[in-house]
Chains A and B, each alone.
Chain A
Amino acid sequence: MLFPSWAFLLFLAVLVPVYYLVPKRIQWIVLLLANGVFVCFAGLLGAVFMAVTIVTVYAASRGIDTLFISQRDTLAAMKATHTKEERKKERLRFEKKRRGILVACLVVNFGILFALKYGAMLGRLSAGLFGTKAFGQDLALTMGISFYTFSTVGYLLDVYRETIPAEKNPLKLALFTSFFPLLVQGPITRFETAGKALTEPHTFSGERFLSASLRIAWGYWKKLIVADRLLVAVRALCAKPDVYRGDFILVEMLLYAACLYADFTGGIDITIGVGEMLGVPIEENFNRPYFSKSISEYWRRWHITLGEWFKRYVYYPLSVSKPMRALSKGTRRFGVGVSRRVPVYLATLLVWALTGAWHGSNLTFLVWGLLNGAVILLSEELKPLYARFHARFPRLTESAFYRGFTVIRTVLLLSSLRILDCYGTVKDAFSSFFSMFTTWNWGAVFRGGVQSLGLSYFDYAVAFSGVLAMFALSMVQRSGAIRPRILKRGTVFSVCVLLVLIGTILIFGRYGFGFDASQFIYNRF
């Protein structure tokens, strides 16, 4: 069920009233059933994989929890009779057991993820070799399987770290894993917050409903008016790396930046809005990312939950892990500077390689990830230089002009990196990127070039207006959230805003026969 589909809207229209009409006690059961319908709608095989995740994570978390309890009891009982050494040994024995359970569960769940992501690639290979049908390809596309896997595994890791107790009711864990708005494209959520809110009773509030509707409508607006329109041109540009070169690449970079932003934030707006409609707060995934002054700041403001997940469960544990500390100590003879940098460099590059691999099985994504990591490390190294520059020219570097410059620089830089995301091979991506500096063909771009991409001037005008609207809203957002300000002006005003959004979507959106309701770009992951 895609967000832009009649099926999804109908699904919501049935669920919301039922959800608020049933007794509060069974509200979460209704939600669980709704999730079941949603998951099965996406495909039974997907439902099976999700069930495996729920069952294994539940069993593992309960097992780990039980071990914590019996460890405590055993050690307490041993206190009077055994030595400290013996107790430590006993504790390590428990730790080892817990780690065994954890690792087994991680292997199963990431195994599924890996098989589906890379299985499609292997499937294509074997399909070529043996003429069989590629397996898993469709499935990986129909549901953002990695999002719920990450959320649920995050829960297990929290239990393992003793940050939260294990949930005793397997249905509640199932509810958390299968919460339907999150299945399309995340965000990755935490059991501590969303998981708890899901099972609490919720009372209907007209104002919250209106507020949620506004957010959902705005999400569709971005998706259907801007993203789906620009996607046509971006796809056309990417499809012919030998034709569209030179200044076309700059056009491609900018269109893709706008398209991806509208697509991903639009989808997340719908997700969060649906959550809000059901009374479940969902973590924000974006914080006006294109206003970042550096790439590392950008990654703290774009797809926030993925970055947090990697930091929390990979980056930090890795950088304080025993082998890493040993490595750091071992390199001390090359100087403290080197030894202090070893953990952070290795961890950064590894996390970025993983982030790249998460985005796609293609080699281009790995290169993209590593380049991101490299840029971040480089700018860290250059920090003293920047500091001196700032000290030298304080008036310049504190001006709005300079801030604007850093923002544009960041957008261009990240757009350059994203070129890797557009092409099938690293060679095409690099060749296209560098052609920008060798081929000057603005003439060709504007004389017939942009019209050959499947969009009319009217389409460009609409998309450009949409981008302007998004930009304007982001500027307004700097002084605080927008929806409370709309709602403060009264119900009638808010409804008018909502109707204008819906009306413009119906007229200017790209949907219906002739256009296929395209998937959210991030759904692939």
Chain B
Amino acid sequence: MKRKLLIIGGVLLACIVCFGALWAVSRLCAPKYHDTLIDGHLTGEYYRETTDHDVLFIGDCEVFEHFSPVTLYNEYGITSYIRGGAQQLVWQSYYLLEDALLTETPKVVVYNVLALKYGEPQSEAYNRLNLDGMRWGSAKIGAIRASMTEGEDFMSYVFPLLRYHDRIASLTAEDFTYWFSDGDPVSFKGYVMHTGVDPATETPTETYEKKLPESSILWLERMAALCEAHGVSLVLIKSPSIYPLWHPEWDAEIAAFAKSHGLRYDNMIAENDAIGIDMQTDTYDQGQHLNVFGAEKLSRYFGAVLRDEFGLADHRGEAAYDADYAALTARYEIGKHE
């Protein structure tokens, strides 16, 4: 009997050591997204938040590079967070919202509509970037199942080693530095700062489907229903970048959608003058994305809209928020002047 117990103990110990080692290797091989490809770090950073938010932005690069929560707070006392990711598809946005609603209930959710042009899973790399950082739960499972491209399998999301084991041949110093720690946040409440300037040149043209994919609209319906169920106001926006192009037919379709669902829809492409954005100085990549100067202008403009239309409270002066944003602002200013 004692011998048997010893064997069972030994086998268990061997298994634990083996799984421990594999876990360590798995962590080592997984991309760290800290110094390079930092977009992959965004999804996970949300869970470090200690304060709640009145506004949640969700969407693709047109939210996480275009709105600055620091500006929103310092100008209007609006508390906000951006749950955005690179080419974040509409169902990914939906599930990230569902995930966030488990732990907080914002007053307003702002969704940027650009990604609606994609009705099908696009790229494995972006899936990984946006989903690996999600906490486990039904939202993550739903997001993975909706996003998988041909040749991907669910197991590799559960055990990242199955996906990244081949990186063992190309590890860098970054992998060892952040082996067991996530390091400092790379964003400012989900905002990724760019300080460079690269003026816009001419606008490209493209051929396109006149109608947005039905599947995207279905997900948008679900998002509207989710917000309604939680008593959250949903706002649809189109960020003021020149391209990727947002076509008039699409604009009309979303405007009609918003009208029929009683939602606010702001297409800000035409409002550059009102916002004060100058595509010669406020973009870091020729008009695709805004740099920090553009983002601050847009935040100032849109912050006023949010405050006036949705009566958001000014949280400045509340100790918890002040402490949080003071530290963030300090880091933000350093980043801006680097």
Contact = CB atoms under 8 A, between A and B. Distances in A.
The answer on direct contact between A and B (beta carbons under 8 Å) is yes
Nearest to A509: B165
A456 B167 CA distance: 12
A492 interface: yes
B169 A458 contact: yes
B163 A513 contact: yes
Given A459-B169, A503-B22, A507-B25, A512 B14 contact: no
Interface string A488-518: 0011100110011011001111111111100
Given A499-B15, A507-B161, A513-B156, A490 B169 contact: no
Interface in A15-71: none
Contacts of A514: 166
B118 to A, nearest CB: 20
B10 interface: yes
A502 to B, nearest CB: 8
14 contacts: A456-B169, A459-B169, A491-B10, A492-B11, A496-B14, A503-B18, A503-B22, A507-B165, A507-B168, A510-B166, A512-B165, A512-B166, A513-B124, A516-B151
B108 to A, nearest CB: 38
Nearest to B161: A506
In this complex, the member of B11, B152, B155 whose beta carbon has the largest number of chain A beta carbons within 10 angstroms is B11
Interface of A: 6, 456, 458-459, 490-492, 495-496, 499-500, 502-503, 506-516
B21 interface: yes
A492 B25 CA distance: 23
A512 B22 contact: no
Interface in B9-47: 10-11, 14-15, 18, 21-22, 25, 29
B9 to A, nearest CB: 9
A500 B14 CA distance: 10
A466 to B, nearest CB: 15
A506 B10 contact: no
B305 interface: no
A511 B11 CA distance: 27
A499 B14 contact: yes
A492 B10 contact: yes
Contact of A6 (B29, B124, B151, B153): B153
Contacts of B161: 506-507
Interface in B154-206: 155-156, 161-163, 165-166, 168-169
B7 interface: yes
Nearest to A494: B11
A490 B6 CA distance: 11
Nearest to B148: A513
A506 B156 CA distance: 11
B6 to A, nearest CB: 8
Given A509-B165, A513-B124, A491 B7 contact: yes
Nearest to A461: B169
A150 to B, nearest CB: 34
A499 B168 CA distance: 19
Nearest to A511: B162
Contacts of A506: 22, 161-162, 165
A513 B165 contact: no
A373 to B, nearest CB: 43
A512 B151 CA distance: 8
A509 B165 CA distance: 8
B122 to A, nearest CB: 15
Nearest to A459: B169
B22 A490 contact: no
A433 B7 CA distance: 56
Interface string B117-157: 00000001000000000000000000000000001110110
B21 A503 contact: yes
Contacts of A6: 153, 155
Contacts of B156: 512-513
Nearest to B128: A513
Interface string B93-106: 00000000000000
Given A491-B10, A506-B161, 16 more contacts: A456-B169, A458-B169, A491-B7, A492-B7, A492-B10, A492-B11, A492-B14, A495-B10, A500-B18, A503-B21, A503-B22, A507-B168, A509-B165, A510-B166, A514-B166, A515-B166
A491 B161 CA distance: 27
Contact of B151 (A456, A490, A499, A513): A513
A458 B21 CA distance: 21
A502 B19 CA distance: 11
Nearest to A500: B18
In this complex, the member of B11, B124, B166 whose beta carbon has the largest number of chain A beta carbons within 10 angstroms is B166
Contacts of A508: 165, 168
Contacts of A502: 18
A499 B165 contact: no
Contacts of A512: 153, 156, 162-163, 165-166
In this complex, the member of B152, B168, B169 whose beta carbon has the largest number of chain A beta carbons within 10 angstroms is B169
Contacts of B165: 506-509, 512
Contacts of B15: 495, 499
A508 B11 CA distance: 24
Contacts of A509: 165
Contacts of B168: 507-508
Top 7 A-B pairs ranked by shortest CB distance? A492-B10, A458-B169, A499-B18, A495-B11, A496-B14, A491-B7, A507-B165
Contacts of A456: 169
Contacts of B169: 456, 458-459
B91 to A, nearest CB: 20
A267 B153 CA distance: 23
In this complex, the member of A490, A492, A508, A510 whose beta carbon has the largest number of chain B beta carbons within 10 angstroms is A492
Contacts of B163: 512-513
A11 to B, nearest CB: 15
A25 B11 CA distance: 33
A264 to B, nearest CB: 24
Contacts of A499: 14-15, 18
A420 to B, nearest CB: 33
In this complex, the member of A459, A502, A507, A516 whose beta carbon has the largest number of chain B beta carbons within 10 angstroms is A507
A499 B16 CA distance: 10
A6 B124 CA distance: 19
Contacts of A511: 162
A36 B40 CA distance: 45
A495 B153 contact: no
A5 to B, nearest CB: 9
B162 A490 contact: no
Contact of B14 (A495, A507, A513): A495
Nearest to B17: A499
A453 B165 CA distance: 21
Contacts of A490: 7
A433 to B, nearest CB: 33
Nearest to B13: A492
A499 B14 CA distance: 8
Contacts of B162: 506, 511-512
Contacts of B11: 491-492, 495
Contacts of A515: 166
Contacts of B14: 492, 495-496, 499
A206 to B, nearest CB: 10
B7 A513 contact: no
In this complex, the member of B152, B165, B168 whose beta carbon has the largest number of chain A beta carbons within 10 angstroms is B165
B26 to A, nearest CB: 9
Contacts of B166: 510, 512, 514-515
Nearest to B162: A512
A502 B22 CA distance: 10
A56 to B, nearest CB: 39
